[in-house]
Amino acid sequence: MRKALISGITGQDGSYLAEILLDKGYEVHGILRRSSSFNTSRIDHIFDQLKLHYGDLVDSQSLSSLVSDIKPDEIYNLGAQSHVKVSFEIPDYTAQVDALGTLRFLEAIRSCGLSETVKFYQASTSELYGLVQEVPQKETTPFYPRSPYGVAKLYGYWIVKNYREAYGLHASSGILFNHESPRRGETFVTKKITKGLSRIKRGMQEKITLGNIYAKRDWGHAKDFCNAMWLILQQEKPDDYVISTDQQVSVKDFINMCLEILGFSVEWKGEGINEVCIDTKTGKVIIDISKKYFRPSEVETLLGDSTKARKQLNWKPTYNLKDLAKEMIEYDLEEIK
């Protein structure tokens, strides 16, 4: 039986990847961070099928022990401080986890003498492109990160490439563009919108307050993107791949899509920080803007070109954005009930 070890198993992607690997017959091990209350809600439905171990990406010793005890065939390094805005507030910690955590994992593999048997997947990101140097962005597009998160992930990307070239490790990076799902963390913009508007629709909340609604993203479904992670590790040779839908919309477009799904009739008024969205039935402001949610430096636009993954991995997304938004809203409405 093949063995996989996942860091970040309690996160959005970790939970979907664990389901995928269990379905394929893997023995799935996951790294759990100690917390003062339960944080396993995304994996509770498969809890009994998983082998969970305490560990942390800032703790080299825990990674070495896990790698040496489990001797996994595949390691998926999904653990991260993954919030871009928060990375401006805790840049040092973000670097410890997202940059050096990757190095610690690679060193654990080497020190356990498993360099020739383990395959390593690194959760890289379209945030590497930041201030984009080319449209659309592909594997050869120069990087220009715009946040402590992006810079930390850039280190992760390069250290993976270096260990591949220096020590012959089967180590690959998936440069994933934004991907969402009903399990998305509540402070990311799509979930904030689907949950907030669902609650407004049910009369449980007055309004949502957002930041830059003119930022553009290439949004896919986490399930599709986690399938790509597995495909990347099944390749004979390690490599880096852009994973994206190759389509782009603005945050405001996504809001309008959700408003339509929920049957709101609205009018947008004002500009910049004074822009508001008014529910024409009630005359109330349901969306406004605050500087609080703007970033010190923003990634205004991201659009992927996943031709390489589509050709070499035979991967393509199965969800469109409207289906994704509907699934998220249905889930949020059900949860409110």
Instruction: Give exposure, 222-253, as e/b (b: 16+ Cβ within 10 Å).
Output: bbbbbbbbbbbbeeeebbbbbbbbbbbbbbbe
Q: How far apart are the C-alpha atoms of 86 and 80, rounded to whole Å?
A: 12
Of 211 and 277, CB closest to ligand NAP: 211
Return the one option of ligand NAP, ligand G4F, none that residue 276 interacts with (CB less than 5 to 8 A, by type): none
SS3 of residue 16 by DSSP: helix
User: Of the residues 94, 121, 127, 190, which is catalytic?
Assistant: 127
Task: Calculate the alpha carbon distances from 247 to 18, 128, 135, 225, 323 in Å.
Answer: 27, 18, 12, 15, 14
Nearest CA to 53 among 87, 86, 30, 83? 30
**Choice among 149, 157, 241, 331 that is catalytic:** 149
211 binds ligand G4F (CB under 6 A): yes
CB of 22 to ligand G4F, least distance (A): 24
According to CB under 6 A, which one of 88, 144, 158, 293 is a site residue for ligand G4F? 293
Q: 75-90: string of b/e by CB count within 10 Å (b at 16+)?
A: bbbbbbbbbbbbbeee
CB of 259 to ligand G4F, least distance (A): 16
Residue 77 is a binding residue for ligand G4F (CB under 6 A): no
Annotated active-site residue 190? The verdict is: no
Task: Reply yes or no on whether 127 is catalytic.
Answer: yes
Look up residue 220 and give its amino acid: G
d(CA 153, CA 104): 14
14 interacts with, out of ligand NAP, ligand G4F, none, CB within 5 to 8 A per kind? ligand NAP
298 binds ligand G4F (CB under 6 A): yes
Can residue 93 be called a binding residue for ligand G4F (CB under 6 A)?
Answer: no
Tokens of 285: 């402001």
> 10 is in the binding site of which of ligand G4F, ligand NAP, none (Cβ under 5 to 8 A by kind)?
ligand NAP
149 noted as active-site residue: yes
Q: Is the dihedral of CA 111, 112, 115, 121 positive or negative?
A: negative
The catalytic residue positions are 125, 127, 149
Summarize as ranges the residues that interact with ligand G4F (CB under 6 A). 82, 84-85, 125-127, 177-178, 187-189, 192, 210-213, 215, 217, 251, 293, 295, 298-299, 302
